[in-house]
Structure 1
Amino acid sequence: MEQSGVRVGIEVRPAGVGVLTVRGELDYDGVPLFDEAVGSVRAEGVHRLLLDLSDLTFMDSSGVNAFLRVQRDARAEGGWLRLANPQPSVLRLIELVGLTAAIPLYDTVGDALAG
């Protein structure tokens, strides 16, 4: 899926974890595509989600709010949301807004899957 500078790859792992690889720029224009990708995974009954941020080069407050929304919805269904491997610019925003107080952050996808 691609729109306005953001691309989202989806993979559902055998353990029932949806791994979404978010690439490009997640801003106001890209959030609808991100939400659509998350919705397609959740529609399949997958509520344990991992966002691989290794190729996300930019995110603004719209992306932060989208992550918080996904986390809230996942928890409501008995699942979770984890973040992994953000680039330095995205990590700065995550730390600045204190996002890790609400959503666990891991260095690698493997760590997040094991977490």
Structure 2
Amino acid sequence: MTDRTLTVTRQTHPSGATVVSVAGELDHHTSPQFSRVLDDTPFGPEAPVVIDLAELTFCDSTGITVLVTAYRRAHATSARLFFTGTSSHLMRVFHTVGLDKIFTFEPTTEHALKALPS
């Protein structure tokens, strides 16, 4: 049996960006936890969001749906949204479903924060 543990942490960077780090398995059992954190995260033109996936070990279609929901919320509120630390396996999934064309990726959180206007 796999360990269905998910850890989600949220920090506000001095730039005003919110960094949400996800570690573990993002699936139909754990996605409500991630959704709650994102629901409580400010999105807007002055509130960019970075979702760090570097420690994500598994993501099913329910997890992808949560990420798409975050993208839609960012788009609706004119917030900048970056996905960082994306594994090659997850990038293949994003490519297969076409999300690599709409999501904004940076290799690390630091790269994403440097990409924000000063």
Scaled by the length of structure 2, the TM-score of the pair is 0.83
Instruction: Give the corresponding residue for 1:85.
Output: 85
Q: Does 1:94 align with 2:94?
A: yes
Shift of residue 47, structure 1, vs aligned partner: 4.0
Instruction: Give the corresponding residue for 1:15.
Output: 15
Q: 1:33 to 1:52 in 2, by over 3 A?
A: same
For 2:91 and 2:27, locate their aligned partners in 1 and report how far apart those are by CA, in whole Å.
Answer: 15
Q: Secondary structure at the match of 2:41?
A: helix
For 1:6 and 1:97, locate their aligned partners in 2 and report how far apart those are by CA, in whole Å.
Answer: 24
Q: Does the Cα contact within 8 Å between 1:47 and 1:74 map onto a contact in 2?
A: no
More strand by share: 1
For 1:19 and 1:101, locate their aligned partners in 2 and report how far apart those are by CA, in whole Å.
Answer: 22
1:24-70 Cα distance to aligned partner (Å, 9 max, x none): 01111111111111112228x97411111110000011111111111
Instruction: Give the corresponding residue for 1:67.
Output: 67
For 2:34 and 2:105, locate their aligned partners in 1 and report how far apart those are by CA, in whole Å.
Answer: 19
Shift of residue 15, structure 1, vs aligned partner: 1.2
Bigger Cα Rg: 2
1:86-115 Cα distance to aligned partner (Å, 9 max, x none): 223323322222212111111111111122
For 1:65 and 1:53, locate their aligned partners in 2 and report how far apart those are by CA, in whole Å.
Answer: 15
> Considering only aligned residues, what root-mean-square deviation do their CA atoms show, in Å?
2.0
For 1:63 and 1:101, locate their aligned partners in 2 and report how far apart those are by CA, in whole Å.
Answer: 18
Scaled by the length of structure 1, the TM-score of the pair is 0.85
Instruction: Give the corresponding residue for 1:54.
Output: 54
For 2:46 and 2:27, locate their aligned partners in 1 and report how far apart those are by CA, in whole Å.
Answer: 25
Instruction: Give the corresponding residue for 1:26.
Output: 26
